[in-house]
Amino acid sequence: QLQFVESGGGLVQPGGSLRLSCAASGGILDPFAVGWFRQAPDKEREAVSCLSRSDGRTYYADSVKGRFTISRDNAKRTIYLQMTSLKPEDTAVYYCAATLEPYVCTETRSFGSWGQGTQVTVSS
């Protein structure tokens, strides 16, 4: 089974940018749809973005649409989340995960191979 390690989080000011990376090990990424999820204090884990395995179909939560971009590099076995125009409400622990298709991005419990997460804090 795949294992993931997230990185790239940190403290940024509102309006700033971060690029998160998720390195996979234990297998190739090609067969899987991949996603980024986040969990803020006192809230449930929510889907941020998902990317299908081959056809480029994406999902973005309404709260991040137009600001975040998900991508993948199967050769590098890495998933990325480019985050721009960050807002305080983006503060959360961000996780990556994978699942076989077909899938629904918002059905977070169907995803396996979760990483440990990376903290993103947006504050002045």
Encode pLDDT of 28-69 as tens digits: 999 999 999 999 999 999 999 999 998 889 999 999 999 999
State percent of the chain over pLDDT 70: 100
What is the C-alpha to C-alpha distance for residues 62 and 102, in angstroms, rounded to an integer? 22
Q: And the tokens for 67?
A: 């600001």
pLDDT reported for residue 86:
98
Average pLDDT, the chain: 95
Band (pLDDT 50/70/90 cuts) for residue 19 is very high
Residue 76 · residue 25 · CB < 8 Å? no
Strand-pairing partners, residue 34, are 51, 98
Distance CA 47, CA 29 (A): 19
Contact by Cβ (8 Å): 118, 62: no
114 pLDDT above the threshold of 90? no
HSE-CB of 78 using CA atoms within 13 angstroms: 13
